[in-house]
Structure 1
Amino acid sequence: MVTWFEIPVINMDRAKAFYEKVFDIEIGIHKMDGLQMGWFPNKNQSGIATGSLIHAGEHYKPSENGVLIYFSCENLANEIGRVEAAGGKVVSNKKQISPENGYMGYFIDSEGNRIALHSQK
């Protein structure tokens, strides 16, 4: 049911570099209506981005206590293993939720947001 998400950032260049390194992706920067967005690449068939980094001043503030977004990964051990080298902090390494629900882990990104990862293996 998720249509779109926005991850608040203080420094777009730093956040872009962090997420590109952790997920081994390229994030496209878009400036519009006084804000700056870093769109994540879309892996579904629509070809439309489903989420973004966003720098929009006072209306968006990074937080460890807000909504928790889970990014899907092939094997989250890969991504969680790149977090600290990219400038983040691992809070919970890969751990099994249950045999049928796979694994999770989470970290604090370069901007101070709490972000989670999920994989089946």
Structure 2
Amino acid sequence: MEGHTLCWTDIPVIDLDRAIAFYSAVLGAPVTKEEGEPGVEFGLLPHDDNTSGCLTLGGDNQPSLTGPLIYLSVDGRLNEAVAVVSANGGIVQQASHQIGAYGYRAVVIDSEGNRIALHSATA
């Protein structure tokens, strides 16, 4: 198998502009507002290959505290990312901590009510 196991994710949101501001601040890179089908807007997460995702409005998906835990890379800037969570409408559920040989993570609730993990190879 070539490439990454996770190739895309749709993160459900309630307020697209608020979610774009949250993820742009936490990821330290712009999340861009895009239009797919006419009248369907989404927030495209930063990416440099085919592994990424977007913020989506409506449909069957709803923000969740109990669904799959998606890890987003903030490599080398985990403390900075965690520091801006609260100021952008999120909640730090688990502060930065080591996850064995796999690096470090923090678990946060985003501005929309989704539980996500922020990951970095270094503290």
Give SS of 1:65's match: coil
Deviations 1:57-116 (A, max 9, x none): 241210111111001122311211110011100000001111x22111110000000010
1:16 and 2:20 are equivalent in the alignment = yes
CA change 1:119–1:49 in 2 (3 A) is closer
Percent of pairs identical after alignment?
Answer: 41
CA distance in 2 between counterparts of 1:15 and 1:108 reads 12
1:110 is aligned to 2:115: no
1:73 aligns with 2:77: no
Distance (Å, rounded) in 2 between the aligned partners of 1:5 and 1:85 = 25
Aligned positions, number = 116
Structure having the higher helix fraction is 2
Equivalent runs, 1:24-103 vs 2, <5 Å: 24-33=28-37, 34-43=39-48, 46=49, 48=50, 50-55=52-57, 57-75=58-76, 76-98=78-100, 100-103=101-104
TM-score by length of 2: 0.86
Q: 1:49 to 1:36 in 2, by over 3 A?
A: farther
Structure 2 regions of 5+ residues with no counterpart? none
- Aligned with 1:4 (options 4, 8, 24): 8
Residue deviations 1:15-34 (CA, integer Å, cap 9, x gap): 00111111221111122234
* Alpha-carbon separation, structure 1, partners of 2:33 and 2:94: 30
Q: CA RMSD in A?
A: 1.5
Superposed CA deviations along residues 14-57 of structure 1, whole A, max 9, x for unmatched, are 100111111221111122234321001213xx3x56210011x2
DSSP 3-state at the match of 2:21 = helix
SS at match of 2:56: strand
**Structure 1, 62-71 or 73-82: larger mean CA deviation:** 73-82
